[in-house]
C-alpha cells in the first residue's frame, strides 16, 4: 500500500523543521538567480522562503505527494508541480536547486546526485539536507518493533529512510565535478505537549510504517511504540523532552 503525507501532521513542528532549511540556505551564495527549484518541497512553506530571498526569481516547488502539492498551491509567490524528483526535468537548467529532507526517501540517492547537478546551470548552486539520525532510539525502536511477528508480515516492503555520512556525499559531489561544502549539525529540539517525540515521527519517518498496518494492528503498534519512546526520551523537570536530531548538509556549485 503506497503511503500518503499529511501536511497538518507534518507542520505541527514547523519551526523546528524550518531551522535546518534556513541553515542550508545561508550557505547558498547565489545573488540574483532567475530560476529556483525545491525538490521534495512538501507543503511549500519553506519554498516560500526561497521566493522571499529571491523575489525576482521563478520559484517552483516539486513534490510527489498530491496532498502536499495541493497545500503548496495555496502558498503565494511559488509554483507547485506534482512530480517525482528522480525523473523531474526543468525546461532549462535552474540557477538554484534545493532538496531539503527528501533524498533520504529515495533508495540509491547517492547515484542521483550527478543527474541532479546536471539540472543546474553552469555557475549555479545545488543544496541538500538529509537527516543523519538513523542510529537514534526513535529509528532503532521502530525497526525493532517492526520486526515483531505480529507486525512484520505487513511491513516487509515499507518505505524506510536512510542516508550516508558527510564524507560520502562530499566524494560523490566532487566526483560529479562540483565544488562542495559538506557539514553536519546535531540540533537539540525542545519538545512539549503529550508524547511529542511520537507526534514528531508520525509526521515523517514512521508514517509509512503505521499506514502499512491494518487498523487493529496500527493502534497497537502506535501504543507500544509510544511507550518505548517515552522510556527512551524521558521528560525533564519542566515536562519538556529533548530530541537530538543530527542532520547532514551539502552545498555545491557547478563550475
Q: CA-CA distance, 182 to 249, in Å (whole number)? A: 6
> What would the grid cell of residue 85 be?
524528483
Instruction: Give me the domain span that covers residue 35.
Output: 7-253
Domains in the chain, number: 1
Helix (H/G/I), strand (E/B), else coil: 220: helix
In a domain, 2, yes or no: no
Reported as a single tens digit per residue, the pLDDT across 175-222 is 999 999 999 999 999 999 999 999 999 888 798 999 999 999 999 999
In a domain, 108, yes or no: yes
Higher-confidence residue: 5 or 55? 55
In a domain, 93, yes or no: yes
> Domain holding 94: CATH number?
3.40.50.150
Reported as a single tens digit per residue, the pLDDT across 182-194 is 999 999 999 999 9
In a domain, 1, yes or no: no
> How far, in Å, are 4, 39, 164, 246 from residue 135 at the CA level?
25, 25, 12, 10
Amino acid at each position: 500500500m503506497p503511503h500518503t503525507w499529511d501536511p497538518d501532521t507534518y507542520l505541527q513542528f514547523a519551526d523546528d523543521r524550518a531551522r535546518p532549511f534556513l541553515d542550508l540556505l545561508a550557505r547558498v551564495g547565489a545573488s540574483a538567480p532567475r530560476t529556483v527549484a525545491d525538490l521534495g518541497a512538501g507543503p511549500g512553506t519553506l519554498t516560500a522562503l526561497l521566493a522571499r530571498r529571491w523575489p525576482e526569481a521563478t520559484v517552483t516547488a516539486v513534490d510527489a505527494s498530491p496532498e502536499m502539492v495541493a497545500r503548496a498551491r495555496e502558498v503565494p509567490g511559488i509554483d507547485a508541480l506534482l512530480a517525482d524528483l528522480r525523473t523531474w526535468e526543468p525546461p532549462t537548467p535552474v540557477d538554484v536547486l534545493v532538496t531539503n529532507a527528501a533524498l533520504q526517501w529515495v533508495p540509491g540517492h547517492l547515484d542521483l546526485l550527478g543527474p541532479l547537478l546536471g539540472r543546474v546551470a553552469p555557475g549555479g548552486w545545488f543544496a541538500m539536507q538529509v537527516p543523519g539520525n538513523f542510529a537514534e532510539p526513535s529509528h532503532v525502536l521502530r525497526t525493532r518493533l517492526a520486526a515483531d511477528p505480529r507486525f512484520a508480515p505487513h511491513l516487509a516492503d515499507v518505505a524506510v529512510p536512510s542516508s550516508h555520512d558527510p564524507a560520502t556525499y562530499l566524494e560523490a559531489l566532487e566526483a560529479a565535478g562540483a565544488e562542495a561544502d559538506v557539514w553536519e549539525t546535531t540540533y537539540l529540539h525542545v519538545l512539549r505537549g503529550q508524547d511529542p517525540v511520537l507526534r514528531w515521527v508520525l509526521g515523517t519517518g514512521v508514517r509509512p510504517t503505521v499506514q502499512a498496518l491494518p487498523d487493529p494492528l496500527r493502534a497497537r503498534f502506535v501504543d507500544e511504540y509510544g511507550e518505548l519512546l517515552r522510556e527512551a526520551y524521558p521528560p525533564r523537570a519542566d515536562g519538556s523532552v529533548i530530541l537530538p536530531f543530527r542532520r547532514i548538509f551539502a552545498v555545491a556549485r557547478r563550475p
